[in-house]
Amino acid sequence: MKFFIDTANVDEIRECWEMGIIAGVTTNPSLIAKEGRDYRKTLKEIAGIVDGPISGEVRASSVKAEDMISEGREIAGLHENMVVKIPMTAEGLKAVKQLSSEGIRTNVTLIFSAAQALLAARAGASYVSPFLGRLDDIATDGILLVEDIMAIFEGYPEIRTEVICASVRHPMHVVECAKTGADIATVPYKVLVQMMKHPLTEIGIEKFRKDYEAVFGK
Ligand code: G3P
């Protein structure tokens, strides 16, 4: 399973890219708004840091397929690595079909059922993004959704759509996603940092330091 980082913060993106742990980036209107910077400029800056797929979402106010299509073309034109993120609606599926026929990659977002994922795949989506955490929030197991989608896609080898586990809230989500064989998890910076840490690693480093310095000094 590959990692994307789920943020529009360029400092976080740069740091994780330098560590070699991420293969791409996902953003959404909430994450872009949090940074308070110009949307397109931010996406271009991200594309200058990360050499991998970068999802930029159509404006939250775009509900008609024709608007999503023209905006999608604009986003795709920013950089060759751009992927157009489109919400899972009937109009969104029309936009996915058109954009994919033009060779523009799409990521269908706000997926909450296997049926939605299958429809998005059939419309030609390059990626589908099931939202685990938001299902967990309403007492529904998000991992079961990822397992279902993986099982369905595996049964139909002609489906090339990759599964991006999204709305990932903690390291155990990541481990559970990896067990399903999901292609990608898009993970917030905070969770990537949590994944790096283990108290025994910190205790071990401190013991090595003390033992070494006791004999050889600083
Ligand atoms: O990738 C989707 C993600 O940004 C949503 O996460 O935590 O707002 O449900 P969350």
Query: 67-97: per-residue pLDDT in tens?
Result: 999 999 999 999 999 999 999 999 999 999 9
Res 60: pLDDT: 78
Nearest to 5 by CA among 190, 197, 177: 190
Q: Provide the token pair at 209.
A: 């330091």
Q: Provide the token pair at 48.
A: 């200058």
Residue ranges of the chain with per-residue pLDDT less than 70 = none
- Residue bearing the CA closest to ligand 1, atom 5: 167
Res 130: pLDDT: 98
User: What phi and psi values does residue 93 have, to the nearest 5 degrees?
Assistant: -65, -40
Res 137: pLDDT: 98
Q: Which atom of ligand 1 is least distant from the CA of 134?
A: 9
Q: What is the DSSP string of 53-90?
A: -EEEEPPTT--SHHHHHHHHHHHHHH-TTEEEEEESSH
Residues flanking ligand 1, CB < 6 Å? 6, 26, 28, 131, 133-134, 166-167, 169, 186
Judge contact between 117 and 137, C-beta under 8 A: no
- The count of other CB atoms within 10 Å of the CB of residue 50 is 20
Res 61: pLDDT: 83
- Residue bearing the CA closest to ligand 1, atom 6: 167
Q: Ligand 1 mean position to 192 CA, how many Å?
A: 14
Nearest to 164 by CA among 54, 89, 50, 66: 54
Judge contact between 164 and 187, C-beta under 8 A: no
H or E element at residue 30: helix 29-35
- Residue bearing the CA closest to ligand 1, atom 9: 167
Res 218: pLDDT: 87
Q: Which atom of ligand 1 is least distant from the CA of 137?
A: 9
Q: Ligand 1 mean position to 167 CA, how many Å?
A: 4
Res 80: pLDDT: 98
Q: Which atom of ligand 1 is least distant from the CA of 129?
A: 1
Residue 30: partners with Cβ closer than 8 Å, 6 or more residues away: none
35, 88, 131: residue to mutate for ligand 1 pocket, most atoms within 8 A of CB: 131
**C-alpha R_g of the chain:** 19
Note the pTM of the prediction, 2 decimals.
0.95
The residues assigned a catalytic role are 85
> What's the angle, vertex CA 114, arms to CA 2 and CA 195, rounded to 5?
30
Q: Ligand 1 mean position to 213 CA, how many Å?
A: 45
- Residue bearing the CA closest to ligand 1, atom 10: 167
Q: How far apart are CA 217 and CA 29, in angstroms?
A: 53
- The count of other CB atoms within 10 Å of the CB of residue 107 is 30
Q: Say if strands 54-57 and 2-6 run parallel, antiparallel, or are unpaired.
A: unpaired
Average pLDDT taken over every residue of the chain:
97
Q: Ligand 1 mean position to 88 CA, how many Å?
A: 15
